[in-house]
Amino acid sequence: MARSDGLSAAEILAYLDSTTPPQRPAEQVRAYREAAAVLAAVRDPEHLRPVGAAPPGAATALLGPDLVPATGRKFNGTVMLRPEIRAETISDLVASGRVEDALAANPDERDSPLQAHLERYLRHEAPPLAAQSLDELEATLQVSVWLGGVVEGVPTADEVEARAGYFRLLAPFEALAGDAIFRGRKPELDRLRRHIGVVSPESALERLRAKAARWIEPERQPAISISGIGGAGKSSLVARFMLEHTRLPEEERIPFGYLDFARASLDVGDTLGLCLELLRQLNLQFPAAERTFSQLAGLIDRPDAFPGSAARDLLSDILHRLRTNLGPRPYVVVLDTFEEVQYRGEEHARPLWSMLSELQDKHSFLRVVVSGRAQVESLRLAGRPPRRIELGDLDDEAADAFLAAQGIEDPGTRDLLIESFGRLPLSLKLVGSLAARTPGGAAALLDPVTRGFSLLAASDEVVQARLYGRILDHISDERVRRLAHPGLTLRRINPALILEVLNEPCDLLISTPDEATALFEELRRESSLVSVDSADGDLVHRPDLRRVMLKMLLNGAPAVVRQIHASAAAWYSRQPGRRARAEYVYHRLHLGDYADLAADRLGRDELYDREVRASIQAVIEEFSVEVQLWLATFGFKVSDSVREQGSRDQEHASVAAQIEELLPYGARSESDAERIFELAYQNLRDDRSVVRSVLGRVDRGASPVFRAGARVAAQRGDDEQALYLIERGLAR
């Protein structure tokens, strides 16, 4: 019967029958599934040969619904079998003993690293997880997704992730201080070992073999502070110490926590976040002790589950479990790149210092190592200030070995290079990089005609600047060279900044995002000049080199530098996020727009944002004296030589801001604030340069120091003193 819309039921059924896919012969489908199941991916399905009787070239028709795109370079193909169908098919192949037959069907498809790893597991020839590299572990993770629970001996994804996570934890140490890189620093390493309470790895192994290894309760120890100029190898020393103990058997290994404050995600004031990171690292280090931290591990991704005061309790629980399960072996907490904290002011670390001190009183095996450009002043453990290790040049033997490790084979050439370029690790690393790029190698660097300059008796900064310039000369693409210089005016570089900010001032002559991305990728290969920020993928110039080169750039091309700052400020003003705000403020300050910035409520508010302040404080020496003095009135720290150039009002505003910066960080910080106020107040009383009124009274003018002092007194509960200081301030 006809329907009102003109289609009969018979017509509708006929249409549905016409759209039903044809039946796929089961045997033929299985023949192609078996061929595809043992391959990581298939380049061209039309060329896939089946395992058994099936028409050639029919893979697309017979496997169409069973295939999914193979995205990612590691697959080395265009399509692959659905995971559930792969698992079912391989289970049948294993049960029937026909895996090798399936592999033999398509030998031309079996040439990728992932394919080779898949075959190792199919043949039960894969190495144990403990013996696999990070690349192998990443391949194993894919295999576990495909074959977990199907092929005997394939580990679970959780097992693989745990082992890969441990490798990723150690990867920065290997990059800084692996066997092929690290040389020297034997006295410093010995001092670290003695302080922590461990011996060299070789001695530890002998002790273990003798079955004499016993962890005994140690005495409390002060922290140790490692300091040195940029490029001296502070992080490398710490990394080497950590690495040598990670290579020991688990029963002899010392646990550690590594907090690198160059990571934007770490905040010294967020003690709970730091404790959760320490817990995450312990879980990676001791997988065999399954129940040691398992009850706590579920909290790592749930910081909201803690009350505000839970950090101390969490770290106490961690230390208790360490003692119970691993014995009182040293637990080393390393705070690296601590200058990032010091730029903001060590007072921000007071809550962490207090927590560490209190917990070490109960768990004497806790050890703390702090590494940064300056010595740590405010940390007290075991009632004592930190012990100091200050790094400078390498000794002759270590410097020679350092150059040899970079492929400079001739001893005489190495001696002359050391004489010319010094013994600082950063300078020697640049020498090695430049030698690899220079026709004639390292010897050509010593030819006065070729090198065109003499560096005898030059400072380390001059050496590094000249080496940087020579490395630039050997970058073949002129546009990439300009990205590195004058592009280093920017602290961060990404394709969008290349296209929209650096394109015109650096004469890049590009017009598309693809061209900008290509240049970005070329610059990223210059690993001696830039590194990748893992947080967002931006390129970051080496801070030590950038600081040196900026001075030369500003002197040589001030108009270009100003153009880049102006364009960058405009670009960042349109971007979201706190990092963008920090860069916006940074470039505005370089333009000298601090007066306009103060009038801009948003810009002024940013100066009180914790992340923005840290970002600006870290590079405060880049700015003019005038800008630095203005920033000091907001509590930023400037050098004594800069402060001496300021006016009386700027000095008072700076002191008041310093006092108020200290107030949120507990009793010890309050005491420091009170000492600063008392000194400033005494200076006010002793000031003989003031103007006396006709009544003979001293009129020193209003000062924010009185306001800050009143806040100190009020916070300490001395309301009478607070009111007195307010009255004195108002009277002036």
Look at residue 88 and tell me whether its pLDDT is greater than 80.
yes
Look at residue 14 and tell me whether its pLDDT is greater than 60.
no
| Three-state secondary structure of 14-25 | HHHHHHCCCCCC
pLDDT in tens, 463-516: 666 677 667 766 778 888 888 888 888 888 999 999 999 999 988 989 999 999
Look at residue 559 and tell me whether its pLDDT is greater than 60.
yes
pLDDT score, position 301: 52
Helix (H) or strand (E) holding 530: strand 530-532
Selection from 432-441, 519-528, 693-702 with the highest mean pLDDT? 519-528
User: pLDDT band for position 199 (50/70/90)?
Assistant: low
User: pLDDT band for position 92 (50/70/90)?
Assistant: very high
Angle, CA 321 vertex, CA 315 and CA 324 arms, to 5°: 145
Unique residue bearing structure tokens 């749930």: 302
User: Which residues are registered as beta bridge partners of 331?
Assistant: 366
- The answer to whether residue 656 is domain-embedded is no
Q: End of a domain among 391, 422, 450?
A: 391
Residue 411, class by beta-carbon neighbours within 10 Å (0-12 exposed, 13-18 middle, 19+ buried)? exposed
- What is the tally of structural domains in the chain? 5
- The answer to whether residue 21 is domain-embedded is no
Same domain for 73 and 193, yes or no, is: no
Q: Can you give the length of the chain in residues?
A: 732
d(C-alpha 560, C-alpha 553), whole Å: 9
Same domain for 88 and 198, yes or no, is: no
Angle, CA 293 vertex, CA 289 and CA 294 arms, to 5°: 90
pLDDT in tens, 642-660: 877 877 777 777 777 777 7
User: Which residues are registered as beta bridge partners of 732?
Assistant: none
Look at residue 334 and tell me whether its pLDDT is greater than 70.
yes
Q: How many helices (H) and strands (E) does the chain have?
A: 36, 12
Other CB atoms within 10 Å distance of the CB of residue 575: 12
Same domain for 185 and 320, yes or no, is: yes
Angle, CA 15 vertex, CA 9 and CA 20 arms, to 5°: 125
pLDDT in tens, 29-45: 999 999 999 999 998 88
User: pLDDT band for position 289 (50/70/90)?
Assistant: low
Which domain does 680 fall in, by range?
661-731
Same domain for 498 and 579, yes or no, is: yes
- DSSP-based three-state secondary structure for 279: helix
> For the CA atoms of 374, 378, 379, 384, what is the dihedral angle to 10 degrees?
110
Contacts of 374 (CB under 8 A, 6+ apart): 227, 339, 342
Angle, CA 102 vertex, CA 100 and CA 106 arms, to 5°: 110
Same domain for 466 and 491, yes or no, is: no
d(C-alpha 111, C-alpha 114), whole Å: 9
Q: End of a domain among 439, 473, 507?
A: 473
Structure tokens belonging to residue 539: 């390129």
Q: Is 637 within 8 Å of 620 (Cβ atoms)? A: yes
pLDDT score, position 8: 58
Tell me which residue of 144, 87, 138, 96 sits closest to 121, measured CA to CA: 144
Residue 418, class by beta-carbon neighbours within 10 Å (0-12 exposed, 13-18 middle, 19+ buried)? buried
- The answer to whether residue 644 is domain-embedded is no
d(C-alpha 112, C-alpha 139), whole Å: 11
Look at residue 419 and tell me whether its pLDDT is greater than 70.
yes
- The answer to whether residue 550 is domain-embedded is yes
User: pLDDT band for position 123 (50/70/90)?
Assistant: very high
pLDDT above 70 coverage of the chain, percent = 81
Unique residue bearing structure tokens 């009038």: 599
**Mean pLDDT lowest among 92-106, 152-166, 458-472:** 458-472
Residues 312-351: b if buried by 16+ CB within 10 A, e if exposed: bebbbbbbebbbeebebbbbbbbbbbbbbbbbbbbbbbbb
Same domain for 427 and 452, yes or no, is: yes
Same domain for 487 and 468, yes or no, is: no
pLDDT average, residue stretch 395-423 = 86
Largest Cα separation within the chain, whole Å, is 118
Unique residue bearing structure tokens 């075991």: 382
- The answer to whether residue 7 is domain-embedded is no
pLDDT score, position 85: 92
Q: How far is CA 608 from CA 412, 578, 662, 678, in A?
A: 55, 12, 14, 25
Residue 628, class by beta-carbon neighbours within 10 Å (0-12 exposed, 13-18 middle, 19+ buried)? buried
DSSP string, 182-233: ----HHHHHHHHHHHT---HHHHHHHHHTT-----PPPP---EEEEESTTS-
DSSP state of 609: S
- The answer to whether residue 437 is domain-embedded is yes
Same domain for 438 and 573, yes or no, is: no
- The answer to whether residue 647 is domain-embedded is no
| Rg from Cα positions in the chain | 32
pLDDT score, position 295: 53
Look at residue 350 and tell me whether its pLDDT is greater than 90.
no
Same domain for 469 and 484, yes or no, is: no
Structure tokens belonging to residue 568: 């960058």
Q: Is 388 within 8 Å of 361 (Cβ atoms)? A: no
Contacts of 160 (CB under 8 A, 6+ apart): 129, 137, 140, 141, 144
Q: How far is CA 621 from CA 80, 586, 692, in A?
A: 56, 12, 38
- The answer to whether residue 578 is domain-embedded is yes
pLDDT score, position 512: 92
User: Which residues are registered as beta bridge partners of 80?
Assistant: 68
Same domain for 31 and 129, yes or no, is: yes
Q: What is the CATH number of the domain that holds 250?
A: 3.40.50.300
Q: End of a domain among 391, 415, 447?
A: 391
Structure tokens belonging to residue 711: 């806040």
Residue spans of alpha helices (H) in 41-98: 59-63, 83-96
Look at residue 265 and tell me whether its pLDDT is greater than 80.
no
- DSSP-based three-state secondary structure for 444: helix
d(C-alpha 274, C-alpha 278), whole Å: 6
Same domain for 531 and 672, yes or no, is: no
Same domain for 458 and 571, yes or no, is: no
